[in-house]
Amino acid sequence: MNKKNNVTEFILLGLSQNNQVYILCFVIFLFCYMAILMGNLIVIISVTCSQLLEKPMYFFLTCLSFMDICYTSTVTPKLISDMLAERKSISYTNCLIQLFTMHFFGGVEVFILTEMAYDRYVAICKPLHYMAIMSREKCNALVLAACGGGFLHSFAQFLLAVLLPFCGPSEIDHYFCDIYPLLKLACTDTHRFGLLVIANSGMMALVVFMVLMASYGVILYTLWAHSSESCQKALSTCGSHITVVVLFFGPSLFIYVRPDTTFQEDKVWALFYTIIAPMFNPLIYTLKNSEMKNAMKKVWNKNIFKRRKQMF
């Protein structure tokens, strides 16, 4: 196939063609983005400034919060600015950059969620060996492996997009550059490309989701026979993890597991893993977590006290 490309920029059609809702959407998504930044930064600062950072679960939680900020920042600022723009365009190069960075941070987040499930499995099913298995060196290696896996996944998506020929039209029926909307615009038979996308994104998400559900199933089965306070605490923690997994993977599976077709509902489902999940993750992990709440109180009360002391 001889690649030809007559397109230098794409037009993003956005969430809606109704101009009357743009101001309302601008306010809503600006609030959501600020909530994402504030919530995840509070988690990062609270953990790193307390002794919780020494615990593997909170080390992974800090990495997850950082990935949430990076992941949503590849999409949301552009979405917000386009709400007030008359012409919602993105250059071909920036489109590919957005595709690569979004799938990179999203891929890293997927693997970190897997590592958090592994951490809970070891803590509950092999408690006597927990500190030996989940050493800081092991945790650092797992995070690096997650970054490597995210890079391989995003590079494959990027390579598929680079190989696509575009000769017009150039309107993307989405609010960001993703592989399926680009396949729809390509002036070639994209059946093989669609199968490769399913293998890279769809099957990866499906396999990881099944592994996560299986691991949490083993954990819940192990906890079922116990009724102590510590087991109830572990059960609450696993419940938070499962909620995050379902919130992130459910819409992702709906979009990437099926063949290379696009629906209007895809844009709504994409909001779940690009904006809604990163916004609710800090709440889900802190509302029922007494350790996190205590750490947040100590860190922020200490900082407020220092500021007041400096003022007087």
Residue 17 reports pLDDT greater than 90? no
**Minimum mean pLDDT among 60-64, 79-83, 195-199, 293-297: which range?**
293-297
Mean pLDDT of 254-263: 79
Which of residues 292 and 106 earns the better pLDDT score?
106
Q: What is the rounded distance in angstroms from the CA atom of residue 34 to the CA atom of residue 72?
A: 11
Look up residue 110 and give its amino acid. Answer: V
pLDDT attached to residue 290? 80
Domains of the chain from N-terminus onward: 9-161+168-301 (1.20.1070.10)
Indicate the helix (H) or strand (E) that contains 301. helix 290-311
pLDDT in tens, 86-131: 888 999 999 999 999 999 999 999 999 999 989 988 988 888 899 8
Mean pLDDT of 223-229: 64
**Minimum mean pLDDT among 31-45, 85-99, 100-114, 223-237: which range?**
223-237
Q: What is the rounded distance in angstroms from the CA atom of residue 280 to the CA atom of residue 283?
A: 5
pLDDT in tens, 54-63: 999 999 999 9
Q: Are 96 and 161 in contact (CB under 8 A)?
A: yes
The whole-chain average pLDDT of the chain stands at 86
Rg of the Cα atoms in the chain: 21
Mean pLDDT of 14-18: 78
Mean pLDDT of 274-282: 91
22: left (phi over 0), alpha (psi -120 to 50) or beta: alpha
Residue 279 reports pLDDT greater than 70? yes
Which of residues 195 and 20 earns the better pLDDT score?
195
pLDDT attached to residue 29? 94
Mean pLDDT of 11-33: 87
What does DSSP say about strands 9-12 and 171-172: parallel, antiparallel, or unpaired?
Answer: parallel
Length in residues, the chain: 312
pTM equals 0.88
Q: Are 112 and 158 in contact (CB under 8 A)?
A: no
Measured distance between the N- and C-terminal CA atoms of the chain, rounded to whole angstroms: 73
pLDDT attached to residue 306? 57
Residue 248 reports pLDDT greater than 80? yes
Q: How many helices (H) and strands (E) does the chain have?
A: 13, 3
Q: Are 270 and 174 in contact (CB under 8 A)?
A: yes
pLDDT in tens, 156-179: 999 999 998 888 788 888 899 999
